[in-house]
Amino acid sequence: MTDYKMKPVEGTIHFDGAQATKGFNFNKMCFSFNNEDARQAFLADPEAYMEKFELSEEFKQALRDKDLNKLLELGGSIYYMAKLAGIFGWNMQVIGGMQSGRTTEEFQAYLDSQGRGKTTNG
C-alpha cells in the first residue's frame, strides 16, 4: 500500500482530507465572507449566521471564544480563517500572536528576531 501518511510537525496541523471533511461547513461559512453583505450579516447576528451553516456547537463556541487553535484543530483552514480578519479587524501579526500565545508586539518581535537585517540585494 502506498504510504501517504504525513509526518507530524510540532505546532502544526496538516490540513488534509480528514481535517477538510471535519471543517467543511465552517470553512464554507468563512468562504462566504468574500462578500461584504455576508460579513455584515455575520456581524449583525453571528449566532444566526453560524446556524445557517450548520456549525457544530464546538465550532460555534470556539468562534465565540475566538480560539483560533481550537478552530484549526476542529478542521478550520487558515486560508478561510484569514477572512475572519476583515470582520474582526485583525492582520496576520494579530492572528500569529493569538495562535502562538504572544501579544501582537511580541509576535512582531519574534518575526524580526529571525529576519530583520538578513537583507540581501543585488
Residues at the site binding another protein, with contacts judged by CB under 8 A:
4, 6-7, 9-17, 20, 24, 27-28, 30-31, 33-36, 39, 69, 72, 77-83, 85-87, 91-93, 95-96, 99-101, 107, 110-112, 114-116, 118-122
Shortest CB 92 distance to another protein, Å:
5
In the complex, the smallest distance separating the C-beta of residue 2 from another protein, rounded to whole angstroms, is 11
Angle at 91 between CA 63 and CA 17, to 5 degrees: 55
Distance CA 18, CA 91 (A): 28
Residue 27: other Cβ atoms inside 10 A? 22
Cα dihedral across residues 33, 34, 35, 40: positive or negative: positive
Compare residues 48 and 109 and give the one whose CB is closer to another protein: 109
Cβ contact 29:49 at 8 Å: yes
Kindly tell me which of 60 and 83 has the beta carbon lying closer to another protein.
Answer: 83
Residue 1, class by beta-carbon neighbours within 10 Å (0-12 exposed, 13-18 middle, 19+ buried)? exposed
Q: Which is nearer to another protein, 17 or 57 (CB)?
A: 17
**Minimal distance, residue 65 CB to another protein, in Å:** 16
User: Cβ of residue 64: shortest distance to another protein, in angstroms?
Assistant: 20
